[in-house]
Amino acid sequence: MSDGKGPPVLEGVRVLDLTHYEAGPTCTLILAFLGAEVIKVESPTKDKSDRQRFNGEEDAKEDLYFVLMNLNKKSITLDIATEEGRSLLLDLVEHCDVLVENFRPAMMRKWTLKDEVLRRRNPRLIYASVSGYGSYGPYAAYPGLDMTAQAVGGIMSITGEGDEPPIRCGATIADSSGGANLALGIVAALYRREKTGKGMKVEVSLQDCAVNLGRSLLGTHIAYGSKAHKAGNRLKDVVPWNIYPTCDKGYVAVCVIPQRQFERLMQVIGQADLLRAHRLYSLPARKKNRQLIDEVVGAWVLRRTKREAMARLCQNDIPCGAVLDSIEVSDDAHLREREMIVEIEHHQWGRIKVLGCPVKIADSPVEIKTSPKIGEHNREVFARLLGLKDLDLQGLKARSII
């Protein structure tokens, strides 16, 4: 937990957020958590809004999906599909450090908002883009989402059991890693700008990020020219590495690589005699006796609750994790203490739990704030950065530009 000694690490960095769905908003969410002023640009037209993407009822609340992706941000409305809206956007670019977008490359070209154009207006601008396949390559024009990225990135081919059909990872790992990688690239570009005074373009693709997530497993097979197969909860070369049921109808993951940990595990579960009886003194020997090891570990786990098994093994320096569902994660004391589960007050949802910032910086506190109301910061941003008066804003609103 932060002791609150210093300001947020990205304080003073201003970001124009032209993102939607998840990969782009994840990037700008991380930047906002770290203290950047993130100004989310939204359409003034309700039917183009991301706020009710999964719930189209006229009187519906904003999607929690939107709320969770847009904590700690500011909101302005601006129709960048219009010439006047794009002109205002270009004016804003002159006052910003970073612009983040996750449109398909053709869309930014159509709007004449390519990185070269924007950086002519502001040579210090960091132009950051995330898309399904990037701005070049045979797939560049293809649409892409998290699930398609998991497919073409090889992740889906190694997820699941045996000969069963490919299966999507439950978490949106391509979107999440795409956003995190883009945030990292932006911070690196800001660091370089401190030395050169010049901005640059930063780009990631969801396919690239999905492939990167498989670096150890996919990468090994790519290096050898072989095909990686689904292994389910097991690793081919490591035993024990599996999910075991518990007496409270739960599960734990037990994952042991070093031989010394394995021998300690056998001591803890009362099976030390098996070491000598089956000469389980190496990984190859353990692999030959996979079924036996899974049986004895499974039998020991089954007599305990998932929390008991996790505590007992971890206290003996043996990696074990209880499989927690969303309710259990929400109430997890460790996550609460680390402020990964926090409560906010939302103008429609009331008091709700949300996920906090995974990056902990000792002297830089992170205060989690609710997502903004649509256009909540129009007056502040347009007046402060562009000097527009109330009469100007009224005219822009009347013409549906903001």
Would you name the residues annotated as active-site residues?
175
CB of 146 closer than 8 Å to CB of 179: no
CA dihedral 97, 121, 179, 45 (to 10 degrees): 110
Strand ranges (E), 51-199: 74-77, 98-101, 126-131
Instruction: For residue 198, give the nearest of 144, 124, 249, 250 by alpha carbon.
Output: 124
Segments in 79-163 forming alpha helices (H): 83-93, 105-110, 115-121, 146-152
Q: Which residues pair with 355 in a beta bridge?
A: 341
Q: What are phi and psi of 332, to 5 degrees?
A: -70, 120
What 8-state DSSP symbol labels residue 361? B
Angle ∠(292,296,299) on CA atoms, nearest 5: 135
- In angstroms, what is the C-alpha Rg of the chain? 25
d(CA 147, CA 210) in angstroms, rounded, equals 10
Taking the alpha carbons at both ends of the chain, their separation in whole angstroms is 40
Angle value at C-alpha 86, between 80 and 87, nearest 5 degrees: 150
> Which of 329, 380, 358, 326 shows the shortest CA–CA distance to 73?
380
- Quote the CA–CA distance of 233 and 290 in Å, as a whole number: 13
CA distance 30 to 70: 10
Q: Are 399 and 80 in contact (CB under 8 A)?
A: no
3-state secondary structure at position 60: coil
